[in-house]
Amino acid sequence: MRFMDRDYDVIVIGSGAAGLAAAVAAADAGASVLVCEGDTRVGGSSRLSGGHFYAAGTSVQQEVGVEDTADAMFEHYMTLNQWLVDPAVVRKYCDLSAPTFEWLKNLGVNFPKEGVYPSGVGSTPRGHQPEGSGEEVVNVLDGHRSHKGVELVLNARVTGLITDDDGRVTGIEIGEDRATCGAVILATGGFGANPDMIEKYYPQAAATGDWRWYIGSEGAQGDGITLGESVGAVVDGHDRGLLLVTPGFSHDLEVILPPWLILVNKEGRRFTNESAPYTVLGGLIQHEGGAAWAVFDERARAAAKPSPVSQAYWVADVLQQKADEGRICRADTLEALAGQLGVNGQGLTGTIEKYNTDVAAGSDSSFFKQGTLTTITEPPFYGVEVRPAIVCWTGTGVRVNADTCVVNESERAIPGLFAAGETIGNLHGDRYIGGGGSFGPCIVFGKLAGENAARYAKSLNT
Ligand SMILES: Cc1cc2nc3c(=O)[nH]c(=O)nc-3n(C[C@H](O)[C@H](O)[C@H](O)COP(=O)(O)OP(=O)(O)OC[C@H]3O[C@@H](n4cnc5c(N)ncnc54)[C@H](O)[C@@H]3O)c2cc1C
């Protein structure tokens, strides 16, 4: 029997990749679905995203001859994070990554074989770059949402959850308005645009002060956490997320450092291969106290040309201009540069002497940096502080079980409440698995939440 007083089987809060995948899957499972979106258009941060999908065992990997399995992905994920992640949730992501990837592909997202690449610290190519980036993924999913007759309300920021006497979530509130349902899916994204939540849940990011900026959408206010907590959800994943490295003087996004500079710590010593993947570079700088200094010479500056990965500010004229403005330190000797930067002078001169010897011998014997290495010999010398301070996504969120049910302190599922996407807090560890490691699970758990929420809501009808 159907409860006629219920407006929808499933209400999805948020229309990013996770919310749209949930809506499409719930509709496919026969549910009546409403999507509420606080913004004036669908897509959230997903629309701004590269939309890369980290997955193992896909047809596109096979096309390029990559043998890969969910088991291998799980082992890598767990090892990279020293097992400090929720194995059941990680396992589910790994197991469903390929089937969900194929589902998205079948919906019409094109993943060319040229877009398969090793997107993390491992050598297995698991990153899948879609044609048209995250925007195209959003458009494809939203097209299916609309085609399946799933209702969407824009400018509709959900402000509360309705529960019955047993604590079961039975609907949503948007100010004075209410809608009832069998199940709610939280898919509200992260909280990168909310400074108070950054302060509370992401102290590493908060510590970067006014260097910090967020590249995602304004809708990332952490509402999933607030709404979840209002009905007893546990919040997990404290101080986790992805911080990208910036010299502070530009709000352009350049994810990869050029090979012609070196990074030193407060002691003036190198501590990493400067070409380390962005997935770990921020953490390495964090380990050095949250700041490092990029050092290079006049020859490198003058030769710094735009490249596919570096176009905005690691280029000759911008570096010159920033040095003239005093945003980059410049000195005729390394000792004087060290003084300006506040790093140990003996450390810096010794480090550069060794680096120059290595470059002359043709290899970086300490950190194995590849590419064209250049000596640092020609004055003036330049140095600029860099910090991991660009918030890409946030990792704190509501805790779910492997079936996407939001759980309370007793690890019991809160009846009628599901979550997916950046709003869940127990998937990511201290280290980002690689490009596609946030967007991929948004689709995986979005689809799963849609299916499970539809099944749950329908079970109430009998
Ligand atoms: C520029 C950029 C590039 C990125 N590139 C990649 C990449 O290539 N690979 C990768 O893995 N990750 C990437 N990421 C991260 C990844 O894209 C995001 O983590 C992911 O898209 C989040 O999807 P989501 O559906 O959880 O949230 P979103 O896409 O942010 O959607 C959440 C939606 O919920 C809405 N909302 C919030 N609160 C409410 C409320 N109370 N009521 C109604 N609606 C609400 C928001 O307005 C928003 O539209 C990138 C992020 C950015 C910003």
Q: Is 158 in the pocket of ligand 1 (CB under 6 A)?
A: yes
Name the domain boundary from 349, 368, 390: 390
Name the domain boundary from 368, 390, 412: 390
% of the chain surpassing 70 pLDDT: 99
User: Both 264 and 364 in a single domain?
Assistant: yes
pLDDT at 1: 32
Instruction: Output the domain CATH number for residue 46.
Output: 3.50.50.60
pLDDT at 255: 81
User: Both 176 and 323 in a single domain?
Assistant: no
pTM summary value: 0.95
Alpha carbon of 328 to ligand 1 centroid (Å)? 34
Q: Which residue has a Cα nearest atom 33 of ligand 1?
A: 14
Distance of CA 81 to the CA centre of its chain: 16
Q: Contact at 8 Å (CB) between 81 and 431?
A: yes
User: Both 182 and 280 in a single domain?
Assistant: no
Q: Contact at 8 Å (CB) between 46 and 134?
A: yes
DSSP secondary structure letter of residue 329? E
Alpha carbon of 451 to ligand 1 centroid (Å)? 20
Element (H, E) at 184: strand 177-186
Using one digit for the tens of pLDDT, what is the confidence trace for 73-95? Answer: 999 999 999 999 999 999 999 99
Q: Assign 303 a pLDDT band (cuts: 50, 70, 90).
A: very high
Q: Is residue 294 part of a domain?
A: yes
Contacts of 344 (CB under 8 A, 6+ apart): 266, 267, 268, 338
Lookup: tokens for 102: 């194929």
pLDDT at 310: 72
Q: Is 220 in the pocket of ligand 1 (CB under 6 A)?
A: yes
User: Both 191 and 298 in a single domain?
Assistant: no
Q: Is residue 3 part of a domain?
A: no
Mean pLDDT of the chain: 96
Alpha carbon of 19 to ligand 1 centroid (Å)? 10
pLDDT at 371: 84
C-alpha to C-alpha distance for 1 and 460, rounded to whole angstroms: 9
Strand 177-186 and strand 127-128: the pairing is unpaired
Q: Is 241 in the pocket of ligand 1 (CB under 6 A)?
A: no
Is pLDDT of 46 > 50?
yes
Using one digit for the tens of pLDDT, what is the confidence trace for 208-222? Answer: 999 999 999 999 999
Q: Assign 253 a pLDDT band (cuts: 50, 70, 90).
A: confident
C-alpha to C-alpha distance for 410 and 416, rounded to whole angstroms: 16
Q: Is 439 in the pocket of ligand 1 (CB under 6 A)?
A: yes
User: Both 143 and 185 in a single domain?
Assistant: yes
pLDDT at 306: 86
Instruction: Output the domain CATH number for residue 323.
Output: 3.90.700.10
The closest-lying atom of ligand 1 relative to the alpha carbon of residue 174 is 42
Using one digit for the tens of pLDDT, what is the confidence trace for 406-444? Answer: 999 999 999 999 999 999 999 999 999 999 999 999 999
Half-sphere exposure of 261 (CA within 13 A, CB side): 26
Is pLDDT of 450 > 80?
yes
The closest-lying atom of ligand 1 relative to the alpha carbon of residue 439 is 11
Q: Is residue 2 part of a domain?
A: no
pLDDT at 131: 98
Domain count, the chain: 2
Across 286-297, average pLDDT: 96
Q: Which residue has a Cα nearest atom 37 of ligand 1?
A: 188
Angle at 201 between CA 195 and CA 205, to 5 degrees: 60
Range of the domain at 436: 8-240+395-459
Is pLDDT of 200 > 70?
yes
Is pLDDT of 308 > 80?
no
pLDDT at 311: 76
User: Both 312 and 383 in a single domain?
Assistant: yes
Alpha carbon of 296 to ligand 1 centroid (Å)? 36
Q: Is residue 1 part of a domain?
A: no
Q: Is 36 in the pocket of ligand 1 (CB under 6 A)?
A: yes
Lookup: tokens for 289: 């106290």
Distances (CA, A) of 131 to 103, 134, 196, 198, 199: 16, 9, 36, 32, 36
User: Both 217 and 253 in a single domain?
Assistant: no
Q: Assign 312 a pLDDT band (cuts: 50, 70, 90).
A: confident
411 residue type, one letter: E
Across 248-273, average pLDDT: 92
Is pLDDT of 121 > 70?
yes
pLDDT at 4: 46
Alpha carbon of 172 to ligand 1 centroid (Å)? 21
Q: Is 192 in the pocket of ligand 1 (CB under 6 A)?
A: no
User: Both 290 and 347 in a single domain?
Assistant: yes
User: Both 153 and 268 in a single domain?
Assistant: no
Q: Is residue 22 part of a domain?
A: yes
Q: Is residue 137 part of a domain?
A: yes
Alpha carbon of 238 to ligand 1 centroid (Å)? 19
Using one digit for the tens of pLDDT, what is the confidence trace for 136-151? Answer: 999 999 999 999 999 9
Name the domain boundary from 366, 390, 414: 390
Q: Is 96 in the pocket of ligand 1 (CB under 6 A)?
A: no
Is pLDDT of 44 > 50?
yes
Alpha carbon of 393 to ligand 1 centroid (Å)? 8
User: Both 216 and 316 in a single domain?
Assistant: no
136-145, 229-238, 362-371: segment of lowest average pLDDT: 362-371
User: Both 178 and 260 in a single domain?
Assistant: no
Q: Is 74 in the pocket of ligand 1 (CB under 6 A)?
A: no
Q: Is 421 in the pocket of ligand 1 (CB under 6 A)?
A: yes
Alpha carbon of 353 to ligand 1 centroid (Å)? 45
Q: Is residue 346 part of a domain?
A: yes
Q: Is residue 352 part of a domain?
A: yes
Q: Is 436 in the pocket of ligand 1 (CB under 6 A)?
A: yes
Q: Assign 2 a pLDDT band (cuts: 50, 70, 90).
A: very low
User: Both 103 and 175 in a single domain?
Assistant: yes
C-alpha to C-alpha distance for 117 and 170, rounded to whole angstroms: 43
